[in-house]
Structure 1
Amino acid sequence: MKVSGRGRSATQRGLTLVELLVVMAVLGILAWAATPMVELSVQRQREQELKRALWEIRDALDAYHLAAQQGLVAGGASGYPPSLEALVQGVPDVKAPGQMRYFLRRIPSDPFAPPAHLRRCHGACVRMTPRPTGRAQALMCTTFTAALTAWV
């Protein structure tokens, strides 16, 4: 029987435990090094989504303001809607009685807010309470096992 340079026979093939551990360590180091890049990519993606949502709201507000200046809708003293919901639910058209003008299909979601399934677990899982800084803090529902972090 032939013996290879490492003391194994030529018919025995495979990796030793030490070789496997070295490969696993190298893969772990590579994954650890790539983690900040992935987190940065996710952060930038959320920022772009937020930017698009803000532009969508701004365009709807500008369209409402223009319609108020043209006398198509009752704009009040400022010429802006009373709330964002009014842009979605529609406002009465002054020039066409009985018809509504819509400026948004839906209010864009905030990509930095907690997911909807965490906000609405069992009716009211997460309560928002004011902090001294004026921001809101998410409180954990008793059915969750992991704590929710503060959302800013």
Structure 2
Amino acid sequence: MRKTLADNRGLSLIELVVTMVILTLLASLILPSAQLASKRTKELELRRSLREMRTAIDEYKKNHEKVQSEQKTLPGVEGLTTHYPKTLHLLVEGDDFGGLVKEKKKFLRRIPKDPFYTGDGDDDTVWGLRSSQDPPDSTNWGKEDVFDVYSKSDGVAIDGTKYKEW
């Protein structure tokens, strides 16, 4: 009996090994770029969240100042008010500015999540907060008001900066 070419239909061991090496090389090239794309997406989400909250804090301050100037009221008994919200939750729950307006004005639908911070807790502990009385680089919130927010993540961004410094 004679063997023909049609009888040798399988792949040799060498062909399988070469194919596996090529696939491994391709996967090793694609995986880092996929991880980088994922990190970049999270960084964009963090920037958007910080911008959203900081804009809401500024809008709260503008509205509070406007309402007080229109009502020609003096600051509270506790002394001069900073016009900033007392907590982040006040931006979501709304505020009537001490009864100076008829209904509560809301500035955020929800408090965004930090995509890099993995700790547990409520929104006042997940985000780092600074009051208007705190130094600009403070990591301890004075609890007078909410002047600024920052990420508590210890991670480093693609550009080499720390997320805490954004």
Q: Shorter chain as normaliser: what TM range?
A: 0.5 to 0.7
1:19 maps to 15
Q: Percent identity?
A: 37
Q: Residue 113 of structure 1: which of 113, 117, 131 is its match?
A: 117
1:86 aligns with 2:90: yes
The alpha carbon displacement at 1:14 in A equals 2.7
CA distance in 2, matches of 1:113, 1:13: 55
The alpha carbon displacement at 1:106 in A equals 0.6
The alpha carbon displacement at 1:10 in A equals 1.9
Greater RCO, CA 8 A, separation 6+: 2
1:6 maps to none
1:60 maps to 56
- TM-score, length basis structure 1: 0.64
1:142 maps to none
Secondary structure of the residue aligned to 2:85 is coil
Unpaired stretches in structure 2, ≥5 consecutive residues: 127-138, 140-152, 155-166
Which region of structure 1 is more displaced relative to structure 2, 21-30 or 72-81?
A: 72-81
> How does 1:68-79 map onto structure 2 within 5 Å?
68-71=64-67, 77-79=81-83
Secondary structure of the residue aligned to 2:7 is coil
1:96 maps to 101
CA distance in 2, matches of 1:42, 1:102: 32
CA RMSD of aligned residues (A): 2.8
Unpaired stretches in structure 1, ≥5 consecutive residues: 4-8, 121-127, 129-133, 135-150
